[in-house]
Amino acid sequence: MATAPAPVTVAGTVAMTRRRRLARTARRVGYYLLVILVCAVTFSPIYWMIVTTIRPVTANLRFPPQLWPTAIDLSAFRALFDHEPIEQWIWNSTLLSLMATLICVVLAVLGAYTLSSMRWRGRGAFAIFLLMTQMLPEALIIVPIFKIYRDLGLRESLPGLSLIDAAFVLPIGVWILKNMFDTIPKEVQEAARVDGAGPFRVLFQIVLPLTLPGLVAVGVVAFFYTWNEFLFAQSMIGDDGLKPASVGLASMISMLDTPIERLLAAGLIFAIPPVIFYVVMQRYVIAGITAGAVKG
Amino acid sequence: MTTRAETMTATAVDRALEGQRRRRLPWLLPYLLALPIIAYEGVFILYPIYQGLRSSFFRQQIGMPEEWAGLANYERLLGDTAFWGVMGTTIIYMVAVIAAAIGVGLGSALVLNRAFRGRTLARAMMTMPWSFPDVPTVLVFLWILNPSFGVINVFARLLPWIEENPTWLLDPRLAFVSVVGITAWKGFPFYSLVILAALQTVPSELLEAAKIDGASPRQAFFAVTLPAISPTLLLLTVLAAIFSFKQFTLIWLLTGGGPSGATETIVVRIYSTAFRFYDFSYAAALGVAGFLLALTVSLVFLAVQRRQDMEAG
């Protein structure tokens, strides 16, 4: 009686563990399939862009297309630089974005400091004012902005364009920095003040050095908001020599004879800088865009 | 004695500090710091809004001076079936994008909310679509949806009832679906990352407790996880409404609002009224109508946010 059930139990346990292990493996495989699905949905358009750009033309102009490259041909990039003024576009975009970034960073530091470190009547109203401007669609004021720019002679000018771009990205800049400033313990600033430091010394010697990543994040967001911006650029700039890359690229769409791999090569060059910077600065940027309302 | 002396010194120090603080932080300073921003946004945002409002009461033709038109532009607006069609398209587009982007965002966040090999890589990938600029996004999707060579046709053809490549952006219904899909593709990873951050704050003890009590993963999700992240989901819904309402570049460059108005939202309509038909005063009136819609959505956002701030303490 006592000995008989023992082997049965052992065999049963072995069978059970095997079945359980199999179920666990199946679940893990299923889980990884889900992960792969998510990544595929996210990445496949970018993958396709890269594949189309780096393979020979003949591979692109056939249906059904092969889903992976079998030969590498980078001549699209050479043709791009030979046939389109892409250096000019990139240079214009860089200048434009630098100007907007400068304006945005300077003003955002002031705004974030007064929102984060000071208590004053009207602070809440100021915050709401910033939020409302952040919500405003650019297209709703394109008509009056266009008329104002025309009357002031600010059209066909990159500095003029950078002014309006900065106005739209500024609120996000303030939120990103305010979030960062809020992470500094109040006591640190208090202590400096007790030691006789004025508010600007506190800002420049204590707050800003501690929140450098936030400052960089604001720079990144402002730079690439302007870099990507299309509506204002398209409406204000008609001169070929002043076109920023977003407008230049869009103008390539309507040129029907542009080969697809050249078009996509241009798009890729334009997209790589923001993607790299955003991947690095992701954490700070997300918090700013959701206006710090998402806790944790 | 000592205690009293100590108290006295403490108050004296306090008073001295107070005085110092007052000297160091004049009451005017916060206003002076806020002023440049208020002035800047005043010139570039508020003044144009005022100008837009003003010119919606005027009539302007090219090369002619403006003349007072009273409510004529608004009368035209109310009787304009195209306008109501555009408003309808705008709202359906917003709802569709919100549902698609938040839905896929939530699903993918739940998938990624686990320790697994390659997690950092997956997160980096999630950052790519929303940091991918609009114009290159349009370029690649025009290619993917190309009726002759587009790769999407390979997959569409797998469906039994599709025998030839659909003309994606030329068929009204397909064009709308495509535009929604592309907007959602660009948007969902952002929501996913935010939801992922919120999921990390769900107390693990609660999930453990639910497990011990014999709750299935699904029950645990509905009883613990969902209530914990619902404030974030609500906020993201409003945020998605604002983002999709703002969307101009993708729609304009993909379809220009066509075919036959199937993808024409209010911002696209404003642009084409102004820069294709040069009807600036009517575009201004459309802008005011859009502004009212934007204001409503923003106020909802503020209300949601305020309630959450209060709940958070």
Q: pLDDT by residue (tens digit) across A126-157?
A: 888 888 888 888 888 898 999 899 989 899 99
Reduce the DSSP state of residue B26 to 3 states and report it. coil
What's the confidence (pLDDT) of residue B2? 45
Chain centre to alpha carbon of residue A51: 23
CB B142 within 8 A of CB B175: no
| b (16+ CB within 10 A) / e for A102-112 | ebbbebbbbbb
Is A34 in contact with B190 (Cβ distance < 8 A)?
no
Q: How many Å apart are CA A223 and CA A93, to the nearest integer?
A: 9
Q: Say which CATH number the domain at B293 has.
A: 1.10.3720.10
* HSE, side-chain direction, 13 A CA sphere, residue B116: 18
Q: What is the mean pLDDT of residues A71-82?
A: 85
Q: Indicate the residue of A61, A133, A279 with minimum beta-carbon distance to B149.
A: A61
Which of B28, B49, B128 to probe by mutation at the A interface, max A CB count within 10 Å?
A: B128
Q: Do B189 and A289 touch (CB under 8 A)?
A: no
The reply to whether B132 falls in a domain is yes
Report the distance separating Cα B99 and Cα B313, nearest Å: 30
Question: How many CB pairs below 8 Å do chains A and B form together?
Answer: 288
Task: For A136-171, give the secondary structure using H, E and C.
Answer: CCHHHHHHHHHHHHHHHCCCCCHHHHHHHHHHHHHH
pLDDT at residue number B183: 95
pLDDT at A10: 66
Q: What is the mean pLDDT of chain A?
A: 85
Contacts of B41 in chain A (CB under 8 A): 129-130, 133, 167, 170-171
Predicted confidence at residue A11, as pLDDT, reads: 65
- Residue in A41, A138, A194 closest to B246 by CB: A138
CB-CB under 8 Å, B136 with A123: no
- Cβ partners under 8 Å of residue B126, min gap 6: A42, B108, B112, B189, B192, B193
Q: Is A264 close to B297, i.e. CB distance below 8 A?
A: no
- Which residues in chain B come in under a pLDDT of 70? 1-25, 62-63, 312-313
- Pick among B132, B186, B232, B265 to test the A interface (most A CBs inside 10 A): B132
> Measured between beta carbons, which residues in chain B are less than 8 angstroms from residue A266?
139
Summarize pLDDT for A169-192 with one digit per residue, the tens. 999 899 888 888 888 888 888 888
131-160 in chain A: CB under 8 A from chain B: 131-133, 135-148
Neighbours of B232 (CB within 10 A): 24
- For the segment A71-97, the average pLDDT, to the nearest whole number, is 89
The answer to whether residues A175 and A217 touch, using CB atoms and an 8 Å cutoff, is no
The H or E element containing residue B59 is: strand B58-59
Reported as a pLDDT band with limits 50, 70 and 90, residue A80 is: confident
Beta carbons of B197 and A174 less than 8 Å apart: no
Radius of gyration of chain B from Cα atoms? 27
Q: Give me the residue from B17, B30, B149 closest to A65, CB to CB.
A: B149
Q: Is B147 helix (H, G, I), strand (E, B) or coil?
A: coil
Instruction: With beta carbons under 8 A apart, name residues in chain A contacting B151.
Output: 48, 65, 67
Token pair 């798009």: residue:
A267
pLDDT of residue A189: 84
B63, part of any domain: no
> Is the Cβ of A2 closer than 8 Å to some Cβ of chain B?
no
Identity of the amino acid at B184: A
Q: HSE of A237 in the Cβ direction (CA atoms, 13 Å)? A: 27
B6 falls within a domain:
no
B136: containing domain? 70-312
Neighbours of A17 (CB within 10 A): 10
Report how many domains make up chain B: 1
Q: Both tokens of residue A147? A: 């008329």
Distance, in Å, from the CA atom of A170 to the CA atom of A105, rounded to the nearest integer, reads 8
A42, A44, A102, best to mutate vs chain B, most B CBs in 10 Å: A42
Contact B283 A143 (CB under 8 A): yes
- Of the listed ranges A50-64, A103-117, B174-188, B254-268, the least confidently predicted one is A50-64
Name the pLDDT band for A2 (thresholds 50, 70, 90): very low
For residue A294, give every residue at least 6 positions away whose Cβ sits within 8 Å of its Cβ, in sequence order, or none.
A287, B194, B197, B198, B232, B235
Residues of B in contact with A138 (CB under 8 A): 246, 248
B68 forms beta bridges with: B58
CATH number of A84-289: 1.10.3720.10
CA dihedral B61, B62, B66, B72 (to 10 degrees): 20
| Residue A94 pLDDT > 90 | yes
Q: Cβ contacts (< 8 Å) between A32 and chain B: which residues?
A: 116
Cα A113 from Cα A119, distance rounded (Å): 11
Mean pLDDT for the stretch of residues A263-279:
91
CB B285 within 8 A of CB B74: yes
Whether residue B185 and residue A41 make contact (CB cut-off 8 A), yes or no, is: yes
Residues of A in contact with B235 (CB under 8 A): 290, 293-294
Give a yes or no: residue B297 inside a domain. yes
DSSP category for residue B58: E
Inter-chain CB proximity A48 and B274 less than 8 Å: no
**Chain position carrying tokens 């800003």:** A208
Minimal C-alpha gap between A4 and chain B (Å): 34
d(CA B267, CA B261): 13
Q: What are the sequence ranges of the domains in chain A?
A: 5-73, 84-289
Question: Which residues of chain B are within 8 Å of residue A113 when distances are taken between CB atoms?
Answer: 33
User: What residues of B are in contact with residue A250 (Cβ under 8 Å)?
Assistant: 135, 138, 253
> So what's the pLDDT on residue A8?
54
Q: Does A295 touch chain B (CB under 8 A)?
A: yes
Report phi then psi at B68, rounded to 5: -60, 130
| Distance from the A5 Cα atom to the nearest Cα atom in chain B, whole angstroms | 31
pLDDT of residue A3: 47
Is a pLDDT exceeding 70 seen at residue A290? Answer: no
Using the beta-carbon criterion (under 8 Å), do B131 and A279 form an inter-chain contact? yes
Residue count of chain A:
296
Per CB-CB distance under 8 Å, the chain B contacts of A170 are: 37, 40-41
Residue B27 falls inside a structural domain: no
- Quick one: pLDDT at residue B14? 58
Report chain B residues whose CB lies below 8 A from the CB of A255: none
